[in-house]
Amino acid sequence: MNYNNLTSAEKTYYANLTDDERKLYLADQTQLDAISTWTTPSVQMYVSVAYLVEEIYQLHESRARLMDTTRSMLRSTDEDKQLVSDIMETSDKLFAVTIAIGDHSAVLSLADAEENDELCGYLARVKMLRFELLATTFDIGVLIETLQLHEVY
């Protein structure tokens, strides 16, 4: 994850973090794997939502690349137009997220930009809340040392 992926609320929050906290807040999958070795609840709670945020941004970027490539293939023939339409339809089915609450779940497409932005905004708010809990209940320096020990700092 990088700074450019942050929501505007996250950028404001990020500006108030220390350098070590910033490193952890923008942790990538490998770094999250390293700090998840700590079984402390606040660490696990943060890591779980950070994984989700990282994954949704990776899916979004992959879909955007696919759409750009597909659009660049568009020609004027009916056959090519149908192929592009098929690719777009398949993309809408593949780039989705499953939400489960209790016994109920739903698959939400990431194709709708407005819904995707709302989902990202919600997850960002949860991530900030959980990071705040982490920062107040666990020594951030220990997590930085963990990154260094795993050689992913």
DSSP secondary structure, 64-115, as one string: HHHHHHHHHH--SSHHHHHHHHHHHHHHHHHSEEEEEETTEEEEEES--HHH
* Distance (Å) of CA 148 to CA 20, 53, 54: 12, 23, 21
Count of all residues that appear for the chain in the document: 153
Rama region for 102: left / alpha / beta (φ>0; ψ in -120 to 50; rest): left
Q: Name the least confident of 67-76, 117-126, 142-151.
A: 67-76
The stretch 10-29 carries a mean pLDDT of 97
Per-residue confidence at 34, pLDDT binned at 50, 70, 90? very high
Average pLDDT, the chain: 90
The stretch 44-58 carries a mean pLDDT of 93
CA distance linking residue 54 with residue 52, whole number of Å? 5
CA distance linking residue 39 with residue 30, whole number of Å? 17
Q: What is the pLDDT of residue 14?
A: 98
pLDDT at 132 over 80: yes
Q: What is the pLDDT of residue 29?
A: 93
Q: Name the least confident of 11-25, 30-44, 64-78, 86-100.
A: 64-78
CA distance linking residue 84 with residue 37, whole number of Å? 44
